[in-house]
Amino acid sequence: MGKVINSEAKRHKAVIPELELALKEFVLIYQHRTILSDTILVEKAKQLADELNVSERTLQFSSG
For residue 41, which of 28, 53, 58, 54 has the smallest C-alpha distance? 28
List Cβ<8 Å contacts ≥24 apart for 47-56.
48/19, 48/22, 48/23, 49/16, 49/19, 52/16, 52/18, 52/19, 52/22, 54/16, 54/19
| pLDDT level of residue 62 (50, 70, 90 thresholds) | confident
If one compares 61 and 49, the residue with the highest pLDDT of the two is 49
If one compares 12 and 44, the residue with the highest pLDDT of the two is 44
Q: What is the pLDDT of residues 24-60, one digit of tens each?
A: 999 999 999 999 999 999 999 999 999 999 987 888 8
Q: Specify the pLDDT at position 29.
A: 96
Q: To 5 degrees, how large is the angle CA 41–CA 44–CA 47? A: 155
DSSP SS3 for 59: coil
pTM (global) more than 0.85: no
